[in-house]
Amino acid sequence: MHGTKNAILMVIHDDEFDDQVAGIKHDYEDLIKTHLHNKIDGDRCVELFLLDGDAKRIEMMTKGFLTNKKMDTVKLLIL
């Protein structure tokens, strides 16, 4: 990918790993236009990030979640 993109990034994880999500999120505040956090089943959470910015940085943010073994699901949708 290259250029400026809009995207939705979905991350599902156990509630106990909120701090790890926050750490990655902090590094990419410039991309995040909207962030939704919701509990789904019991102790699991879903995070939705609406992103706007440099495609390479969107890839880097996504990779940050993908390489974190504490995340259950990571999906990126380029709009």
pLDDT digits (tens, 9 = 90+) for 38-76: 999 889 999 999 999 999 999 999 999 999 999 999 999
Distances (CA, A) of 47 to 4, 51, 67: 22, 12, 16
- The pTM (predicted TM-score) of the whole model is 0.93
E-strand ranges in the chain read 4-14, 32-39, 44-54, 71-78
pLDDT for the residue 11: 98
pLDDT score of 6 more than 90? yes
Q: Are 7 and 76 in contact (CB under 8 A)?
A: yes
The H or E element that residue 20 is part of is helix 18-27
Q: Calculate mean pLDDT across residues 6-32.
A: 96
Average pLDDT of span 24-48 = 96
- pLDDT for the residue numbered 1: 81
**What pLDDT was estimated at residue 42?**
87
| Contact indicator for 61, 8 with CB cutoff of 8 Å | no
